Amino acid sequence: MSTTPDQFVVYDRDGRISFASHSLLQGLHMSAAEIMGKTFAELGFLPPEIIAQSERERKEVFRTGQP
């Protein structure tokens, strides 16, 4: 997964980042250590409405087991 040009993250059930693609880290100009274990709300670079939508979608995926 480290060689894909796609930007993506993997979350745990609490919405904490457990993996971030290399291309996402480059795009954010951040290291893995800076974002691992944090939520997007804690990182503070997305608008609240996007964070809320993402939270709803994440909870639904964990509830149903369907992406």
pLDDT tens per residue across span 19-61 = 999 999 999 999 999 999 999 999 998 999 999 999 999 999 9
3-state secondary structure (DSSP) of residue 27: helix
Residue 3 has pLDDT above 90, yes or no: no
Q: Which helix (H) or strand (E) holds 9?
A: strand 9-11
pLDDT at 28 (0 to 100): 92
Domain residue limits, the chain: 9-64
Measure Cα distances from 23 to 26, 37, 47, 48, 55 in Å.
5, 18, 21, 24, 23
pLDDT at 2 (0 to 100): 65
pLDDT at 6 (0 to 100): 92
pLDDT at 56 (0 to 100): 94
